[in-house]
A and B are shown apart, each in its own frame.
Chain A
Amino acid sequence: MYAPPRFVLLSECALTVEFGDEITLRTNELVLACSASIDQAALPGVVDVVPTYRSTTVYFDPLRTDTTTLTGQIQALVTQNIHTLLRPATTHTIPVWYGGAAGPDLLEVAELAGLTPADAAGLHASVTYRVYMLGFSPGFPYLGTVPERIATPRLPTPRKQVAAGSVGIAGTQTGIYPQTSPGGWRIIGRTPIRLFSLHRPQPFLLAPGDFVRFVPIDEDEFGRLSMEPA
């Protein structure tokens, strides 16, 4: 059993359904199950559903529904056995060239942890991560949980440009920048894998609830894999 969700208005056209106050697997599974049930129910007037770590936000058209109606409908959905709606998770293997030009912050992350860069990279690659949510930019995954020893806060000043494919750490979160963009996470490596491409039938590689395993590769392997089509 779990506590009933809390409903909060993000705007007069968006209702946020909160399942807890912390980042846990259980809370995030509830979020994804609830989001899937809302998708499946195709509630009238719902225009977008955005699951995040601990809540899901339901955007709606105020000409077609209202918060009272939606709250009632969602309350009814979450009392059902919504966990059966969770799609089977895919585990993705993502090759990463750690350190060097690809990971300008690996040295500092390793030093702060009292590890060699190779051991810090090995520790980062030793865990299977869960995709808790996507956000920030198209296809950017928020992954958890980074081993405590190498959990490092964001840079004091964000970089103006982080290369596409960069793998970063922010506290116990890790993530991958799908496009070149500004960013404040500590960059420890880079993957040649495209996380977002409109040239594929499925533009987004990862979905919330998926799992990610990082596999260390060297610069040569990175170069070879970069040549392969998306």
Chain B
Amino acid sequence: MSPKPSIIHVLRPGLFTTVQDLGRLGYQRFGVSVSGAMDPWALTVGNRLLGNPDHAAGLELTLQGPELLFEHRLSIAVTGADLSPTRDGVALPMWTVVTMPAGSRLQFGTRRQGTRAYLTIAGGIEAPLLLESRSTHVQSGLGGLAGRPLKKNDTLAGGGLSGRCCEGRTLAQSSRPQYLTSPTLRVIPGPQVGRFTEAALHLLAMSPYRVTSESDRMGYRLEGAELPHRGPADIISEAVSAGSIQVPPNRQPILLMADCQPTGGYTKLATMIRADRSLAAQLGPGDSLSFVVISAKEASALFRSLHAELERLLPPQGP
């Protein structure tokens, strides 16, 4: 089966729409951020529904989706946040493969649940593979469309990767995530837990935090109970990762997310587990969250069971 290229015109770009895949691993030692989908689970579900390989790129939509004109007939799926997708004015089902006929328009409306939606298309969004990934990292101007979010009059090409598609294929209702506006996220003790007072980890777990407006793909500045250090808040710069909870001298935590720098020099009190990254990705400014501390062993088990569930629901089909 030879994939046919397909053209999509960007009539309106949406608030912050970027090309993302599962990220750019392997170059952190050169200062390159991993980036990739904030909610990798939602992107992967979209790709698997369409029969795409897991590494296919999709669009990550933030709060307000774009308006897109499909020049050619194309199968798509919208997953993640419910931003009220419509096709030529008619509501589209989420987490389901639907066909966009030639000349049809995809639009988004009210945000019903979550913050970030994923538009996946049969064969994936085309973008140059840079350092083995198509992900956009805006801070370094790398990946996607010239390293930037979509803008009006951009043209997207799709369908380069072969995939086997089935109209109507859907993720069972019972398996669709519920994105809460005040979730409890699980953490394990961080690498510098000993540089905080004994109370700090309890305080983190006992008190709710608010996601401030200084929150983006790099990380969320949180506001809540102060987390006291024993000594200085600075350490010799070392690796940090998505999920790291850094506490700078102002004692308010920063939850690092997909676009975080590969290294950092603040003490890290805890690390959010990977299985809860999707829940965190769906938070926006004003939402609140709580933390609960679990063991690293439990965190690994949760990661494995999340993976097993995905394999059971939607086995990979791509080449």
Stretch in A62-70, A79-87, A119-127 with 4+ CB within 8 Å of B = A62-70
> In the complex, what distance in Å separates the CA atom of A136 from the CA atom of B28?
10
Q: Does chain B have a CB within 8 A of A222? A: no
Q: Does chain B have a CB within 8 A of A112? A: no
Closest to A204 in B: B30
**A12 touching B26 by the CB < 8 A rule?**
no
Q: Which of B25, B139, B241 contacts A137 (CB 8 A)?
A: B139
Provide the residues of chain A in CB contact with B188, threshold 8 Å: 9, 11-12
**A12 touching B244 by the CB < 8 A rule?**
no
Q: Does chain B have a CB within 8 A of A57? A: yes
> In the complex, what distance in Å separates the CA atom of A10 from the CA atom of B188?
9
> In the complex, what distance in Å separates the CA atom of A124 from the CA atom of B152?
47
Provide the residues of chain A in CB contact with B140, threshold 8 Å: 137-138, 179, 181
Q: Does chain B have a CB within 8 A of A203? A: yes
> In the complex, what distance in Å separates the CA atom of A224 from the CA atom of B273?
51
Stretch in B80-88, B107-115, B200-208, B232-240 with 4+ CB within 8 Å of A = B232-240
Number of B interface residues, CB 8 Å? 38
Provide the residues of chain A in CB contact with B312, threshold 8 Å: none
Prevailing SS type, chain B contact patch: mixed
Provide the residues of chain A in CB contact with B28, threshold 8 Å: 48, 50, 59
Provide the residues of chain A in CB contact with B142, threshold 8 Å: 138
> In the complex, what distance in Å separates the CA atom of A67 from the CA atom of B188?
14
Q: Does chain B have a CB within 8 A of A169? A: no
**A52 touching B274 by the CB < 8 A rule?**
no
> In the complex, what distance in Å separates the CA atom of A139 from the CA atom of B131?
13
Provide the residues of chain A in CB contact with B263, threshold 8 Å: 50, 52, 133, 135-136
Provide the residues of chain A in CB contact with B139, threshold 8 Å: 137, 181
- Known contacts A11-B271, A11-B274, A62-B300; is-contact A134 B237 (Cβ 8 Å): no
Q: Which residues of A contact B (CB under 8 A)?
A: 8-14, 16, 21-23, 35, 47-55, 57, 59, 62-63, 66-67, 133-140, 142, 178-179, 181, 196, 198, 203-204, 207-208
Q: Which residues of B contact A (CB under 8 A)?
A: 25-32, 130-131, 139-142, 188, 190-191, 236-241, 243-244, 261-263, 268, 271, 273-274, 296, 299-300, 303-304, 307
21 contacts between A and B (CB under 8 A): A9-B191, A9-B296, A10-B191, A10-B240, A11-B299, A12-B271, A12-B296, A13-B274, A16-B191, A35-B29, A50-B28, A52-B263, A54-B238, A55-B238, A57-B241, A59-B241, A66-B300, A135-B263, A136-B31, A138-B142, A179-B141
